[in-house]
């Protein structure tokens, strides 16, 4: 039977947003390698941009209607929480799949995935673009001593996903500490701050200290990273 994967995020493969583009790249890569892909998302605007509905993709894309797109922050938060539940619940109605890749938008969609996990029979992978519920305290929206936050925090990090896609080695190590695991099957995407190393001043700078110099870099071809270990 052909392998099938479902990718879940608020912004799907047809949306040109910061999280929509990676979803598209992953979906394209899986499809090109013989995986039947379904992308499940919300038809919601981001910076007044909506999905490019006129474009046709070789794999299936599903966009649920947006619940709220106003400016009230409390209603937006409630809408986000409900969107996460709707996405995870709707994925139960999709054809049987072996892998469910869940990103971190809408907020706390990872918590919904854990709650509903007993009802689906597939591997669960988290692609940690952001860290929730940690992001709520980092943004100053709630205190770390808040009992509801502490309950959600404990619940989320008490349940380890089958696979992680992390942004940088440091994020992976941080998540291992949060999940209290020495190792979690994972892929580390290149990301982070490089250490600064002192180097000799280049020859072209000495004669052009009063100028701003731009370099045109050649296009670099990066070999895609496989996630074959997700299926085992």
Q: Please write the tens of the pLDDT for every residue from 97-146.
A: 999 999 989 889 999 999 999 998 899 999 998 888 888 888 777 888 88
Asked whether the predicted pLDDT for residue 192 surpasses 70, the reply is no
Asked whether the predicted pLDDT for residue 206 surpasses 50, the reply is yes
Share of the chain above pLDDT 90, in %: 49
- Using pLDDT thresholds of 50, 70 and 90, give the confidence band for residue 32: very high
- Using pLDDT thresholds of 50, 70 and 90, give the confidence band for residue 36: very high
CA–CA dist 28, 62 (Å, integer): 15
Element (H, E) at 7: strand 4-8
Provide the pLDDT for residue 140.
78
* Number of neighbouring beta carbons within 10 Å of residue 159: 14
Q: Please write the tens of the pLDDT for every residue from 151-191.
A: 999 999 999 999 999 998 999 999 999 999 999 999 998 87
Which residue in the block uniquely carries the two structure tokens 């349940």? Answer: 159
Picking from 29, 90, 20, the residue whose alpha carbon sits closest to that of residue 59 is 29
């Amino acid at each position: 039977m052909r392998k099938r994967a479902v990718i879940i995020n608020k912004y799907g493969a047809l949306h040109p947003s910061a999280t929509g583009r990676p979803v598209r790249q992953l979906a394209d890569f899986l499809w090109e390698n013989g995986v039947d892909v379904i992308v499940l998302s919300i038809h919601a605007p981001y910076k007044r941009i909506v999905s490019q509905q006129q474009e046709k993709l070789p794999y299936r894309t599903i966009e649920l209607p947006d619940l709220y797109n106003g400016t009230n922050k409390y209603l937006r938060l409630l809408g986000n929480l409900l969107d996460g539940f709707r996405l995870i619940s709707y994925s139960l109605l999709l054809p049987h799949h072996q892998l469910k890749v869940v990103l971190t938008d809408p907020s706390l969609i990872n918590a919904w995935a854990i709650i509903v996990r007993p009802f689906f029979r597939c591997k669960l992978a988290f692609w940690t673009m952001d860290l929730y519920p940690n992001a709520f305290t980092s943004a100053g929206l709630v205190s770390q001593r808040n009992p509801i936050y502490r309950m959600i925090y404990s619940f989320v990090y008490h349940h380890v996903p089958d696979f992680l896609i992390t942004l940088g080695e440091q994020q992976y190590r941080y998540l291992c500490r949060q999940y209290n695991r020495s190792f979690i099957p994972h892929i580390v995407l290149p990301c982070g701050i490089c250490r600064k190393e002192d180097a000799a001043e280049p020859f072209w700078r000495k004669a052009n200290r009063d100028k701003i110099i731009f370099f045109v870099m050649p296009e670099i071809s990066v070999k895609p990273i496989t996630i074959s270990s997700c299926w085992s």
